[in-house]
């Protein structure tokens, strides 16, 4: 059997294994667009170190990136403003709390713990919003996904309507001097980036950029400087799966980032991987996506610690 067929079979097997667990999860329900998702959808795309692309399942299905946007805003804030300016405002420690929790803003200092909880992502987004247009941020997002992606206006409007908790933490951070004055503009950028629609191929492209130290898998051009890739992958490993990051690192051992829309981007061993499965566990991570990644990490021997 050819190498390509092997990979296709491996993806099919990973999906078949993961399908058995989907009934353990539920779709997110805080906005109608997510509540309407079909929990049985399941897809995976992979880009190999040689640039070959494979996928299986519902890989043409579009979904909102949600928290995967946090990786993009962190990368672009680091690229445009530098490490000092970013980490002056946001930490790099796991919080151990759910993604939308902001209790530590009151009990453990002013700065959000890391850029992948909502408070931290609103902070990195605010730094960007003070300096660049949303179109520039979207242009960079398209480079990361290797395609002309765009926000869904309906998801965006629903995020704005449901965003009271995010709005509260943003105003709290503004009162502490972590955020500047333009809070509604920061939230607008944050919600808009969460609403960008992609499929698993786009996520695999993003994973491949990270897996290769920042290069495009199609033309080898640098999209992200290697130093920034290494910072971001470290934070993905420790904080990328919310308060499930420790267990994910133990069982799968890869830098990854999930979104409540059902997507996960992961990278390792030169591979970029994107998964989609809107049935989520109690922490907001895709049940099927985690199972697929577990299978692939084992079979391709990607676990960083194995």
Cβ proximity to ligand GLN: between 63 and 76 the closer is 63
CB-based contacts of 91-99 (< 8 A; 24+ apart in sequence): 91/120, 92/231, 92/234, 92/235, 92/238, 93/238, 94/238, 94/239, 94/245, 94/246, 95/239, 95/243, 96/243, 97/243, 98/242, 98/243, 98/283, 98/284, 99/67, 99/242, 99/243, 99/260, 99/284
Cβ proximity to ligand GLN: between 217 and 261 the closer is 261
Whether the Cβ atoms of residue 240 and residue 18 lie closer than 8 Å to each other:
no
Binding site for ligand GLN (CB under 6 A): 66-67, 99-100, 118, 159, 166, 194, 259-260, 284
- What's the closest the beta carbon of residue 39 comes to ligand GLN, in angstroms? 16
Cβ proximity to ligand GLN: between 66 and 275 the closer is 66
Q: Residue 250 class from Cβ within 10 Å (0-12 exposed, 13-18 middle, 19+ buried)?
A: exposed
How far apart are the C-alpha atoms of 210 and 274, rounded to whole Å? 12
Cβ proximity to ligand GLN: between 85 and 161 the closer is 161
- What's the closest the beta carbon of residue 195 comes to ligand GLN, in angstroms? 8
- What's the closest the beta carbon of residue 263 comes to ligand GLN, in angstroms? 9
- What's the closest the beta carbon of residue 159 comes to ligand GLN, in angstroms? 5
How far apart are the C-alpha atoms of 235 and 74, rounded to whole Å? 10
Cβ proximity to ligand GLN: between 91 and 284 the closer is 284
How far apart are the C-alpha atoms of 28 and 190, rounded to whole Å? 19
Cβ proximity to ligand GLN: between 41 and 47 the closer is 41
- What's the closest the beta carbon of residue 245 comes to ligand GLN, in angstroms? 13
- What's the closest the beta carbon of residue 21 comes to ligand GLN, in angstroms? 20
């Amino acid at each position: 059997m050819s190498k390509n067929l092997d990979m296709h079979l491996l993806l099919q097997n990973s999906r078949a294994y993961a399908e058995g667990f989907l009934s353990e999860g539920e779709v997110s329900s805080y906005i109608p667009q997510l509540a309407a998702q079909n929990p049985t959808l399941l897809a995976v795309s992979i880009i190999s170190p040689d640039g070959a692309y494979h996928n299986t399942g519902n890989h043409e299905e579009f979904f909102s990136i949600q928290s995967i946007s946090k990786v993009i805003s962190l990368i672009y804030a680091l690229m445009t403003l530098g490490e000092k300016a970013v980490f002056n405002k946001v930490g790099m420690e796991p919080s151990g709390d759910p993604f939308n929790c902001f209790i530590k803003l009151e009990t453990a200092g002013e700065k959000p713990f890391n850029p992948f909880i909502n408070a931290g992502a609103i902070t990195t987004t605010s730094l960007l919003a003070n300096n660049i247009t949303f179109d520039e941020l979207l242009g960079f997002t398209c480079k990361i996904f290797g395609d002309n992606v765009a926000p869904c206006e309906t998801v965006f409007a629903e995020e704005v309507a449901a965003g009271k908790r995010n709005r509260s933490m943003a105003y709290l951070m503004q009162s502490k001097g972590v955020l500047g004055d333009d809070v509604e503009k920061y939230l607008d950028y944050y919600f808009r980036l969460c609403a960008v629609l992609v499929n698993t191929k786009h996520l695999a492209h993003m994973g491949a950029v990270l897996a290769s130290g920042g290069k495009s898998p199609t033309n080898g051009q640098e999209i992200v400087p290697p130093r920034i890739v290494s910072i971001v992958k470290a934070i993905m490993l420790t904080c990328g799966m919310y308060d499930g990051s420790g267990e994910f690192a133990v069982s799968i051992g890869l830098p990854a980032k999930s979104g409540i829309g059902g997507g996960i981007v992961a990278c390792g061993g030169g591979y970029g991987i994107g998964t989609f499965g809107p049935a989520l566990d109690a922490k907001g991570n895709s049940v099927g996506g985690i199972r697929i990644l577990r299978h692939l990490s084992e079979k391709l021997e990607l676990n960083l610690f194995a």
